Amino acid sequence: MSRSIPCIIFIYGPAGSGKTTFTWKFWEWSKENSEFNIAPVNFDPATMNLPYKPIFDIRDYVTARKFMEEFGLGPNGAIVKAVEESEKYLKKLFEAIDKSSCDYILLDTPGIMEVFVGREVGRRIVDSLLERYNIIGLFIMDSSIITKPSEYIYFKSLFILSGLKLGIITVPAWNKISKASKVFKEISDLELKELIEKLYSEPGLYTDAAERLAKMIDKLEYAVRFLKVDALSCKGFDDVITTLHEIYCTCGDLT
């Protein structure tokens, strides 16, 4: 199935959550398991090794290493500068996307989420994409690093706040589910009341704040479902493509 205007799947999330691996494996999986034509894009100017062949690679125009070498910037400063420079090459990105004639474009974002989501340049880039395409965010989180209920609440709140910052409809996905921590397995399907009870079982000064945050998240989550996937084994990818398609049929025109 092909379409003239593709939907951009904006893949973002905390460092180490598996965004690039997800992009690679989901693209590979889609070739055999999806009716849609899907292609990856790399928009991370700091990545060193890319496991997939993108239809557009921002490193062909700008890299974080270049700014480290030419201007003596540290790693974080160089990534920030490179992301800012990336905005100049959006026309090249648009040309590659339009030429691909794909249904969905997997846009792999910088590993350090804050340099994109937390800065105004990220919103400007998203707004530029929104002028031409439909966008659905896919917020990737790492289920293997959850060691206490308050951390679980933190990542869920980060999903909501980052979607608010970017201004796009976003689907949350817990990755590395085959290596999910014991705590994650115990609390990920709990109702709010049960989750709050778990919160008060952990020591700390911010339990009350975590409870208030949990209640706020419960009100803001509306009908969203947190997907559970494992990028390396492709587990849960059927749910991902189904969810993306359902959302696009609601806000886009891919019927």
Nearest to 175 by CA among 199, 140, 222, 207: 140
Residue 252 has pLDDT above 80, yes or no: no
Across residues 68-87, what is the average pLDDT?
Answer: 91
Name the pLDDT band for 96 (thresholds 50, 70, 90): very high
Give residue 2's pLDDT. 41
119-142 tens-digit pLDDT: 889 899 999 999 999 999 999 999
Structure tokens given for 132: 């031409």
Phi, psi of 220, rounded to the nearest 5 degrees: -90, -20
Residue 205 has pLDDT above 70, yes or no: no
3-state helix, strand, coil in the chain (%, to 5): 55, 15, 35
Give residue 221's pLDDT. 61
33-71 tens-digit pLDDT: 999 999 999 999 999 999 999 999 999 999 999 999 988
CA distances to 34, 38, 51, 106, 169 from 102, rounded to whole Å, are 13, 6, 20, 10, 20
Distance CA 13, CA 163 (A): 10
Reduced to 3 states, what is the DSSP secondary structure of residue 141? Answer: strand
134-166 tens-digit pLDDT: 999 999 999 999 999 999 999 998 998 888 889
Average pLDDT, the chain: 89
CA distances to 17, 24, 62, 227 from 194, rounded to whole Å, are 26, 37, 48, 20
Q: Report whether 39 contacts 7 (CB < 8 A).
A: no
Q: Report whether 233 contacts 178 (CB < 8 A).
A: yes
Distance CA 61, CA 82 (A): 10
Structure tokens given for 130: 């929104």
What's the first-to-final CA gap in the chain, in angstroms?
10
Phi, psi of 181, rounded to the nearest 5 degrees: -65, 160
Q: Please, what are the domains in the chain?
A: 7-249 (3.40.50.300)
Question: pTM of the entire structure?
Answer: 0.91
Residue 12 has pLDDT above 90, yes or no: yes
